[in-house]
Chain A
Amino acid sequence: MSIATNNIAFNVDEIRKDFPILNREVNGYPLVYFDNAATSQTPKQVMDAIVDYYSNYNANIHRGVHSLSQEATDKYEGARRKIQQHFNAEKAHEIIFTSGTTHGINLVASGFASILKKGDEILVSALEHHSNIVPWQMLCEKTGAILKVIPMNEQGELIYESFEELLSEKTKMVFLNHVSNALGTINPIKKIIDKAHEKGAAVLIDGAQAAPHIKADVQALDVDFYVVSAHKMCGPTGVGILYGKEEWLNKLPPYQGGGEMIATVSFEKTSYAELPHKFEAGTPNICGGIAFGAAIDYMNRIGFEAIARYEDELLDYATLKLQEIEGMKLYGTSREKTAVISFNIEGLHPYDIGTLVDKMGIAVRTGHHCAQPIMDFYKIPGTVRASFSFYNTKEEIDRFIEAVKKAKSMLS
């Protein structure tokens, strides 16, 4: 069960044929989908995997002796191994299927409740999504640990020196995203992981925004936990994975009780199942896991290098064109960033721009992007965020620019 790695030549017209939704109209215009950082679109190959599962081998896994159950188990575990290979985890059981990134973070945060003591410190970056802030705040309330924030600069980059200053023997964990969802900044995670390890702190990286653009190698990164969602990388919603180093996963207590996660049960004592089942209570999202594997295959067939190269081209093009619009203010101008542009136009509310471009068939995100601390930093209510994927085109960017100009003239 190896991942398909033979890159096909990058041809966006051919790629777009895999995504039926790109042919639809919205408000009378052909859809331009620039909300990829919220969720990516789904190629036929992934839909086929979903249909195949329900048409041919839908069964509960791991326990059935019948053939269907074994087939489903094989495919599900096969998907786990694909994901393991994709992220280069050492062992397949270090990949825990979750319902998504948020679930993965909560699983780890809840496990650390039994490890942290009063006065321990945990560091979180100023660039985080609420899902990587709130679980840690809850953890601090429970344990008496102290949450400290690594600040960011005007360009939307973490201030590494401040991280070094905050880091101490008291630091037990560091949490940050690989790529910021609101700004697209790529954080220097390898440097941060190594430094944190020097002080004995564990590191969790939220890879939700990175996974569609960057192939993370968890062994090379030496990261303790890495979490992603399938739906940001051409897979279905409601499924994701938590990668955890075996030693950490063995240390953490189970997150939920139920079937699948036990070895033996009696009213006196229950012993927990081995990894990964210890963290996979109940019937999992079997079809979702298998479809996630299909999505990983799909993206690898196109190739992450080709994807990154093409998306960078889109980003540069859009950045240049947007800056021609008077009053344009871009947020997150780090040189290391993925294909995300967050902006405002002087005097205009992002919500107004988003509403009007939607009327012209263009899907962008407006608001605080679940990252209010970043908006507070810039003292703005929110931004318009256009996020590109490898199936987008320069022609779509042209239409977007025209729509923004039109919205601006209507609102001014």
Chain B
Amino acid sequence: MSKTIQEIQEEIVDEFAMFDDWMQRYEYMIELGKALPLIDEKYKIDENLIKGCQSKVWVHAELKDEKLVFTADSDAIITKGIVAILIRAFSNHHPSAIIEADTKFIDDIGLKEHLSPTRANGLVSMIKQLKMYAVAYQTQLK
């Protein structure tokens, strides 16, 4: 039985709880960013770009066995780290679970500052985009 989005989020929160200061948190995010599996180059196209980011973020979504799989990339490494966290939480789940998932864990791991709509990295836009894909693919499943 694979983990629910909720369970994965809790796991991520636990991991981040080990860090004492911002520097460790960001070093970890940078590591996650570097480890993010690369998106197929053919998907790095303008249609897959997320608007509202200071750095470029491409997200591609694909349905596999009724589960939505995300791949993504960014030209900025911290943004890539944030994308990696989101993908770990949201990828490989049924679209309806993605639509329903809440995003409170972002607060809990000390990335709340990135949630403000004024932040140029567009975390809010990223989450919105992932959920939009889920909505679109859910209608396909029906």
A contacts, CB < 8 Å to B: 27, 348-349, 351-352, 355-356, 359, 366-367, 381-382, 410-411
Contact = CB atoms under 8 A, between A and B. Distances in A.
A351 B54 CA distance: 7
A351 B22 contact: no
A411 B79 CA distance: 12
Nearest to A355: B78
B78 A359 contact: no
Nearest to B55: A351
B77 interface: yes
| 7 interchain residue pairs of minimum CB distance | A349-B76, A351-B76, A351-B55, A351-B54, A367-B54, A352-B78, A352-B76
Interface string B79-120: 100000000000000000000000000000000000000001
Given A351-B55, A367-B120, A381-B55, A27 B22 contact: yes
A377 B130 CA distance: 33
A367 B53 CA distance: 10
Interface stretch (B6-14, B23-31, B65-73): B23-31
A359 B29 CA distance: 14
Contacts of A411: 30, 77
Contacts of B23: 359, 410
Given A349-B76, A351-B78, A366 B120 contact: yes
Nearest to A368: B54
22 contacts: A27-B22, A348-B77, A349-B75, A349-B76, A349-B77, A349-B79, A351-B54, A351-B120, A351-B121, A352-B55, A352-B78, A352-B79, A355-B26, A355-B121, A356-B26, A359-B22, A359-B23, A367-B120, A381-B75, A382-B54, A410-B23, A410-B26
Interface of B: 22-23, 26-27, 30, 54-56, 75-79, 120-121
A198 B78 CA distance: 53
A348 B30 CA distance: 12
Nearest to B25: A359
A359 B30 CA distance: 14
Contacts, number: 41
Contacts of A348: 77
B113 to A, nearest CB: 9
A187 to B, nearest CB: 27
A382 to B, nearest CB: 7
Nearest to B121: A351
Contacts of B55: 349, 351-352, 381
B134 to A, nearest CB: 27
Contacts of A366: 54, 120
Contacts of A351: 54-55, 76, 78-79, 120-121
B29 to A, nearest CB: 10
Contacts of B75: 349, 381
A367 B79 CA distance: 14
Contacts of A359: 22-23, 26
A366 B54 CA distance: 8
B50 to A, nearest CB: 14
Contacts of B26: 355-356, 359, 410
Given A367-B54, A381-B75, 11 more contacts: A27-B22, A349-B79, A351-B54, A351-B76, A351-B78, A352-B77, A366-B54, A366-B120, A382-B54, A410-B23, A411-B77
Interface-centre pick from A349, A355, A356, A366 (highest chain B CB count, 10 A):
A355
Contacts of A349: 55, 75-77, 79
